[in-house]
């Protein structure tokens, strides 16, 4: 007698892993909370007060399903971005949208190209739908647009993924270079441009892209600069035909009503966004100073985190990370060499960075003594 579910061969072949272990799970395992939560690239500066008030007001109507079309939020994004609502898809963060996009475009065996060590949740979705994931190395701690396009062209890839600014390194390319990458996208390939950190990047980083261009889909989020990671609101900008296709596979009641309303209020509060951008800039400078005081080099960053080169290999960086965790300072690190020589530290409050400043020399000494 067969017991339990009958998984597909693909599901049976997949490892029982997820891209990230949450800090809450790590706290439960350690038996105490972190004192400085600097590993998940959340905005510790919080959401807009207007968004908080709007979400609190919306909570009383939680008995209602959310609008499955996210009509009001899409209209607000339309006005903000200067595109039509037909060019905008809303989903459960960029992660959710990536999963839906891969479901739409990738069948078992289809080739997908990304960078070795780039954002792993994208890879997780590709594996989950049976795609053949091919990678190219970073070039000087930057994703390599030309190498990505060359690999996609050689292999007839369905998707080619790049984040600008990049996670986990925080590096970035100019708008002109991203524009050139789009122009070189081969026939039949869709470029996925992940702009989760674009609000922190220098002027001139985001290219002007015709929203009707069928070669590219760009994705953005309320998780980072707008401080709403827990609300799970992301959006994609793409040609209307592709946006309509999301309706075929998305969870039609997957968006929280509270989150939709909060995101709309956050979008309208430009003053709060400006304050967060300034606070992140200060925090990046402080992390760079703390690193330098310990003989470490911080990579220039266009995101809300800084990659700090620990000056050795991945094993040493892992030891530093573990010693910081032991001192209740939560950070993360890249997964693939040579970028794994770094630890990645999110922009924190002054108090959190005070804790980092005290813990880092101790962690380095302990790691060197191993």
**What is the span of the domain harbouring residue 89?**
49-268
- Count of domains for the chain: 2
- Report the CATH number that the domain containing residue 91 is assigned in CATH: 3.40.640.10
For residues 215 and 326, membership in a common domain is answered with no
Do 263 and 276 fall into the same domain?
no
Task: Please tell me whether residues 139 and 204 are part of one structural domain.
Answer: yes
Q: What is the pLDDT of residue 262?
A: 98
Q: Does a structural domain hold residue 230?
A: yes
- Do 62 and 142 lie in a common domain? yes
Residue 171 lies in a domain: yes
Given 232, 248, 268, the domain boundary residue is: 268
114 lies in the same domain as 156? yes
pLDDT at residue 1 in the model: 58
- With a CB cutoff of 8 Å and minimum separation 6, the contacts of 354 are none
**Does residue 301 sit in the same domain as residue 359?**
yes
Residues 291 and 235 in one domain: no
63 and 168 housed in the same domain? yes
> Could you tell me if residue 5 is inside a domain?
no
Tell how far CA 134 is from the center of its chain.
Answer: 20
Q: How many Å apart are CA 127 and CA 129, to the nearest integer?
A: 5
The verdict on 178 and 299 lying in the same domain is no
- Asked if residue 204 is part of any domain, the answer here is yes
- For residue 4, tell me if it sits in a domain: no
Whether 2 is in a domain gets the answer no
> Does 151 fall in a domain?
yes
**Dist CA 86 CA 80 (whole Å):** 14
Compute the distance between CA of residue 350 and CA of residue 358 in angstroms, rounded to an integer: 12
Is residue 341 a part of any domain in this protein? yes
Residues 172 and 291 in one domain: no
Residues 125 and 156 in one domain: yes
Q: Which of 218, 234, 268 is the last residue of a domain?
A: 268
Say how many Å lie between the first and final Cα of the chain, rounded.
53
Return the CATH number at 301: 3.90.1150.10
The answer to whether residues 84 and 194 belong to one domain is yes
Measured CA distances, 327 to 258, 321, 330, 340 (Å)? 36, 10, 9, 21
Whole-number pLDDT of residue 2: 64
Report mean pLDDT in 10-residue bins for the chain, 370 residues. Answer: 84 88 94 97 98 98 96 98 98 98 98 98 97 98 98 98 98 98 98 98 96 98 98 98 97 95 98 98 98 98 98 98 98 97 98 98 97
Residue 237 parent element (H or E): strand 234-237
Closest to 148 in 3D by CA, of 197, 194, 181, 125: 181
| Whole-number pLDDT of residue 16 | 86
Closest CA to 218 of 117, 369, 81: 81
Domain C-terminal end among 246, 268, 290: 268
**What integer pLDDT is reported at residue 25 of this predicted model?**
95
Q: Is the model's pTM score more than 0.85? A: yes
């Amino acid at each position: 007698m067969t017991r339990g579910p009958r998984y597909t061969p693909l599901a049976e072949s997949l490892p029982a892993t997820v891209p990230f272990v949450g800090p809450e799970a790590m706290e439960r395992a350690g038996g105490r909370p972190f004192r400085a939560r600097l590993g998940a690239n959340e905005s510790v500066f919080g959401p807009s007060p207007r968004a908080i008030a709007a979400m609190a007001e919306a909570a009383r109507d939680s008995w209602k399903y959310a609008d499955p079309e996210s009509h009001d939020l899409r209209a607000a994004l339309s006005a903000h971005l200067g595109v039509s609502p037909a060019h905008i898809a809303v989903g459960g963060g960029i992660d959710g949208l990536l999963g839906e996009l891969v479901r739409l475009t990738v069948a078992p065996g289809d080739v997908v190209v990304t960078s070795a060590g780039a954002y792993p949740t994208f890879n997780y979705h590709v594996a989950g739908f049976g795609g053949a994931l091919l990678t190219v190395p970073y070039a000087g701690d930057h994703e390599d647009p030309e190498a990505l396009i060359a690999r996609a062209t050689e292999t007839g890839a369905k998707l080619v993924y790049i984040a600008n600014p990049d996670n986990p390194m925080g590096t970035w390319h100019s708008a002109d270079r991203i524009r050139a990458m789009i122009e070189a996208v081969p026939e039949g390939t869709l470029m996925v441009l992940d702009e989760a950190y674009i609000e922190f990047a220098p002027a001139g980083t985001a290219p002007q892209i015709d929203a009707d261009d069928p070669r590219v889909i760009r994705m953005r989020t309320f998780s980072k600069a707008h401080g709403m990671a827990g609300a799970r609101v992301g959006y994609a900008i793409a040609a209307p035909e592709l946006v309509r296709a999301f309706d075929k596979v998305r969870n039609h009641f997957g968006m929280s009503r509270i989150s939709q309303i909060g995101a709309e209020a956050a979008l309208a509060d430009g003053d709060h966004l400006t304050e967060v951008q300034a606070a992140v800039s200060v925090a990046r400078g402080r992390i760079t100073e703390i690193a330098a005081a310990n003989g470490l080099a911080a990579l220039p960053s266009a995101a809300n985190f800084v990659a700090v080169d620990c000056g050795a290999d991945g094993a040493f960086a892992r030891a530093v990370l573990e010693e910081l965790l032991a001192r209740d300072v939560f950070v993360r690190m890249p997964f693939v060499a040579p970028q794994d020589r770094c630890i990645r530290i999110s922009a924190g409050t002054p108090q959190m960075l005070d804790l980092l400043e005290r813990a880092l020399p101790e962690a380095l000494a302990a790691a060197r003594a191993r």
